[in-house]
Structure formats: structure tokens, C-alpha cells
Amino acid sequence: MGEQQHVKFPQEVIDEYASLGVDLRALFSAGHLGNRMGVQIVEASAERVVGTMPVEGNTQPYGLLHGGASAVLAETLGSVGSMLHGGSSKIAVGVDLNCTHHRGARSGLVTGVATPVHRGRSTATYEIVISDEEGRRVCSARLTCLLRDVRPGDEVHLQQGAGA
């Protein structure tokens, strides 16, 4: 996943998390798994989350992008959107993910764009469209997250960036 200095966050989100002493870029990252898979979050707000992932290193034995890799990208982007919707008093926990794989990808980067379908008080659902470099849809996914209140002890994980 690498450095996150180029992620675009809305100013009000930056201000909210800075006041809590939370590392915003670490919190809204894909964590260790995303790092191993090369996920990069490019843009993040409750209205739209955009991220990329290389195909290379994330393939199945036939050389095609692994469906599980698409699922990781989709869940990452939808979780970030859900966390931003919930705000600093909530934690987003994925409770349902489904993915439909439309076409294979053998090389290059895939780009995922997560947009909200539903943003409520206790759940958030995002549609995630993953496309190849030619703009062809590779995967359609939908993620629903439970938005639960931050509990004592969660703050340590949030400050370490283990929340998304």
C-alpha cells in the first residue's frame, strides 16, 4: 500500500480526526493485507472512495486477477466510505459482501470506486465497481457495514490505524 500522502480527504474530516490525535491516513488504509496486495487509496469521502490495486501479484493459477483480491479491494473501499459516513464515534464492521466477476484481468491496475447505496445510523451499504485500465468492468460488489459505537479500548487500535 505504501505512502498515503496523496489521498484526498474533505477538510472537515481532516479536522475532526486531527482533533482526536488519530492518524487519518493510517486509519483509512487497507492495513497489512492491503499493503501486501498493493492497494492504494486515492480519494476518500463518505460520498466516494477511489482506490487502485495491481493485478500482478494478485492472480490465481491461470494468471487472472483473483476474485478474492477483488473482494479485498471492494471491502477496503466500502469500509473506508462507511467509516467516513459514521464519523469518529463509530466503527464500521463488514457484515455482508457479495461480488460478481464479469471479466478477467491479466495485467495493469484495476480501479475501484465505492459509492453509497444506503447511509443510515446503524448500517451503511456501498456499491463498488472495479474496472480495468480500459474502463471495462471487472467486478461489481456490494458491501454492508454495521456502524457500531466506539468502545473503550478501540481508541488504541484507531490511533494505530487498525480500524478500517
CA pair distance 43, 12, nearest whole angstrom: 15
State the greatest distance between any 2 C-alpha atoms of the chain, in Å, as a whole number. 48
Closest C-alpha among 133, 42, 24, 31 to residue 72: 31
The cell 453509497 sits on which residue? 116
CB under 8 A, 24+ apart: contacts of 122-126: 122/146, 122/147, 123/95, 123/147, 124/81, 124/82, 124/85, 124/86, 124/92, 126/49, 126/77, 126/78, 126/81, 126/82
The one catalytic residue among 16, 56, 75, 133:
75
Known catalytic membership, residue 12: no
Closest C-alpha among 102, 104, 126 to residue 116: 126
Catalytic positions? 75
